[in-house]
Amino acid sequence: MSIHPSAVVSPSAHISPDVHIGPFCVIEGDVNIGPGCVLESRVVVKDGTTLGVNNHIFDGVLLGGLPQHVHVPEVPGRLTIGAHNTIRENVTIHRALVPEHTTSVGDRCLLMVNAHVAHDCRLGSQVIVTNNAMLAGHVHVDDHAYISGAVGIHQFCRVGAFAMVGGQAHLVQDVPPYVTVDGLSSLVVGLNKIGLRRAGYDQGVIQTLMAAYRLIYRSGLRWAEILEQLRTRFPVGPAALFYAFLSTTARGIVSERRAPPGATIKLREPEEAVPERQVRVKFG
């Protein structure tokens, strides 16, 4: 075990023999740090925190802070971080609000500079959360999702597996699996095809996902009819995740940006022409 002389480590903490703890770190008593973990300088690990194996925690990170809530109980919940995660500078991850609950981060995630993960969040595995993203309480992010810079996610929202959320998006509803959210509009703009190809999905699977996507966003069916068709037409394989996700949404899902066919928009012409007129534009 390598502990810098300036670090403050509680004798009650459970720390594996090969852990590296850098200068000015603070490790409280009710803490478990697994083998192979590296804590750079000024890392604070608060009570109620467990780290799995081979996590690399960079400078200024705070793990296990009290929930930012007006009614914090005397005994809050816990924070559990899996294995092989990289948590970059000044990230904050808070404990759950009540004792029987846990904030959790899976395996092989990358949390970049200044990201914030609030109380009772659940991050799956191989999730990427980039700089200055903010996850409010009770947010769930499924495996392989990508949260871009400065994204804000409202409490109790979910982000599905392999979804890609563009920079500066603000989310107040659930993001279905496999889709891309445009950062400027905060609306869905199609499947995350690049992410799916990188993950090894072949063209046949992507075409099936596209068929399910069109059913959800472009069929014009009622919600109950969409769910029933998803359940019957895509009972197995990756596309089955759409039904599992959508049938359990409590906040609804993010809408598609695509304008409806025949939408009317206004075009402004030069001053010498007619000031304003309505034009019917056909989309796709």
Catalytic (active-site) positions: 119-120, 137
Instruction: Look at strands 188-191 and 179-181 and give their pairing.
Output: antiparallel
Residue by residue, DSSP assigns 193-252 as HHHHHHTT--HHHHHHHHHHHHHHHHS---HHHHHHHHHHH--SSTTHHHHHHHTT-SS-
How far apart, in whole angstroms, are the C-alpha atoms of residue 114 and residue 267? 42
CA angle 5, 7, 11 (to 5 degrees): 100
How far apart, in whole angstroms, are the C-alpha atoms of residue 167 and residue 184? 8
CA angle 6, 7, 10 (to 5 degrees): 135
Q: Are 73 and 92 in contact (CB under 8 A)?
A: no
- What are the phi and psi torsion angles at 105 (to 5°)? -125, 135
How far apart, in whole angstroms, are the C-alpha atoms of residue 245 and residue 65? 30
Q: Are 275 and 268 in contact (CB under 8 A)?
A: yes
